Chain A
Amino acid sequence: MKQGRILAAVAVGVLGGSVVVAKAASVPAIYTAAQATAGATVFSANCAMCHGANLEGAAGPTLVGQSFAAAASNYTVGAIFGEIAQQMPAGNPGSLSHDQYAQVMAFILSKNGYPAGATALDYNAALGSSVPLVSQVK
């Protein structure tokens, strides 16, 4: 077991921090690449100090992988986005623009194996979204 874990850790390192399952085709594209790119900057400035530069969690919860959103968790994009848009950043909730919140959500989706597409994620649509959020990162 121990040796297996070490090997897995090496594989993660080689692949640059994420192992994406080849099931991505079944996951909807609900944000644009530009949103995710912008979201990385917003995340870095407002979220990374608690959630970690790689979303691994520190003083705040992890936001990537099965430790964040396993299938058994039954999360939706709307439920997670509600937390982000209403409660975050902790200590100053609601202080980002609607566009910035959508960008952060796009960034988190991208890090969890959701593909970018042609349609931008809209703030209000995201709040009501029933799209399942199941991390594709093992």
Chain B
Amino acid sequence: MSAPPPSLLDPSIFSSLEAKLEQETQVRDTLSQIVQRLDRAAATAQGLLSRVHSTPRARYPALVAQVEAAVKEEAVIINELEKVASQHPYYKYNNKWSRSIQHAIGTTIYCAWLGGFPSTSSSSEPESASKPAPEIGRLLTLEEVGAIFSVPTNLKDRDAFHLTIEEYLLSLIDLTQDLSRLATNAVTLGDFQLPLTISAFVKDLFAGFQLLNLKNDIIRKRADSVKYEVKRVEDVVYDLSLRGLIQRPTAGDTEMESA
């Protein structure tokens, strides 16, 4: 029609596509390296935590101190991850790290459950009777985990790195699995009270999961397993009460603290 016959494509189209693809590869590589280190740190923490199954309760504090240190290692790496990840749309790359983050959250809440990361007195739960001995069975909230890692949680109106509700929920499910194993092993070590604490805790979590309107996704699939953990712990409690190894609870199943 007019003078210069148009060429099919403006070369800048593909040079900019190429640049974008290359940048994406680079970002992925950087993230992979950080995530790999995070995985190692989480594995270390998890490894330490696995000792709890053969540790009597009196020696929890020593073990917990080690795990706390390992969690702090995780926090350092997570902060590095945050710096890189926050430069890009969160959900563009989040599948690279969400599993590892879930493990890191898991080690943290498990550590706190065993008495680590004591709550800073005045704030948080009013229910905790301020005992000198570390409180066992405490659940860190998502915000508390975020504070330990010093990263934001559940961001909605800002596109940056954060911990998600999904990651937290999945790590809770991991926790129930480990606790049901701990219930058995505590009995083996002669600790007949711990299964009661675990039982009440896992039941409360289960009740919580039942409040969610889950769609057919990963959380649903995983959450379905919680009821089996409840049952496993109940079986342990049943065995103990059948043989009179624990005091009969006075009412219902609210015995967790007891004498």
Decide whether A and B assemble into one complex.
Answer: no
Measuring CB to CB, which residues of chain A are less than 8 angstroms from any residue of chain B?
none
